[in-house]
Amino acid sequence: MALFELQNLTKTYGTEGIGTEVLHGITFSIERGEFVSIMGPSGSGKSTLLHILGFLDDYTSGEYRFGGKRPNDYTEDEQAQIRNNEMGFVFQAFNLLPKQSVYDNIQLPLSYSGVPEKFWKEKIERAIEQVGLTHRAEYETYKLSGGERQRVAIARALVNDPNVIFADEPTGNLDSVSGGAVMEVFQELHQNLKHTIVLITHERFTAEYAKRIIRIKDGLIEQDEVLAGDRIRRPSEFHK
Ligand code: ADP
């Protein structure tokens, strides 16, 4: 069973009839362990789609199943639990607490998760290691570079061992070299740790770190393409 299954999904903002339909019938599946980019120009409906996938917003018609179940099969509390325990979110703006340490920022989702406290330290340290920030664990996050902050946000998304990591324009606030380093972290999580990653971007360069690109335009899928070969990009490519 696919982790995500969408069938002819639509989204209308406002009241149906007098509202604006922004997704016009989206159909795709994403399997566990895939690394997929959803790419399209600004206003094409990417964030709307991500919010629906992440149980942050309702859809209007069609079908959406996450792990075989519809969002409406769950109560709001259960949806919140799934968001916290099975989904990790990384946003363009990092959304960290600036005066708190790297360690404390990453601890935050654990405190809502029901994971017994005795396991926290090990989980936090592992997440910090996975993004290569062990030497910065005690730094307050306002002292870090943009690329380092985004890696903290990735560690925070990872700490509950989610089934999927959603990243919404994660390199949007970064220069190309730090952006490349952040994308390499996603690539490693996918290749070595078999994480499922759904990335939203308007940039082709960023999208191509994934193994599959779903292009959307004006609320419709334009192309769904599996990339050939094992492309591994390194920051050195940015300097060419
Ligand atoms: P993208 O992420 O690709 O830039 P969005 O999903 O943010 O696209 O937006 C798609 C369309 O939906 C845009 O025309 C946008 O103005 C509209 N839209 C987004 N959010 C809302 C909202 N809460 N209410 C009404 N319209 C919205």
CA-closest residue to ligand 1 atom 10: 45
168-206 confidence digits (pLDDT tens): 999 999 999 999 999 999 999 999 889 999 999 999 999
Asked if 151 and 132 touch (Cβ cutoff 8 Å), the reply is yes
Q: How far is the CA of 49 from the centre of ligand 1 (A)?
A: 10
Range with the lowest mean pLDDT among 52-61, 82-91, 151-160, 221-230? 221-230
- Which residues are CB-neighbours of 134 under 8 A, at least 6 positions away? 125, 128
CA torsion sign, 142 to 146 to 150 to 152?
negative
When pLDDT is averaged across residues 232-238 and rounded to a whole number, the result is 47
Q: How far is the CA of 100 from the centre of ligand 1 (A)?
A: 32
Q: Is the CB of 40 under 6 A from ligand 1?
A: yes
DSSP 78-123: HHHHHHHHHEEEEETT----TTSBHHHHHHHHHHTTT--GGGHHHH
Q: Is the CB of 196 under 6 A from ligand 1?
A: no
Amino acid 25: pLDDT: 97
Q: Is the CB of 192 under 6 A from ligand 1?
A: no
13-51 confidence digits (pLDDT tens): 987 668 999 999 999 999 999 999 999 999 999 999 999
Q: What is the pTM of this model?
A: 0.92
Range with the lowest mean pLDDT among 50-59, 83-92, 161-170, 230-239? 230-239
* Residue 236 confidence class, pLDDT cut points 50, 70, 90: very low
* Residue 235 confidence class, pLDDT cut points 50, 70, 90: very low
Residues facing 69 on adjacent strands = 66
State residue 185 phi and psi, 5-degree precision.
-60, -45
CA-closest residue to ligand 1 atom 22: 13
Q: What is the Cα Rg of the chain in Å?
A: 18
State residue 40 phi and psi, 5-degree precision.
180, 165
State residue 117 phi and psi, 5-degree precision.
-60, -30
Q: Is the CB of 43 under 6 A from ligand 1?
A: yes
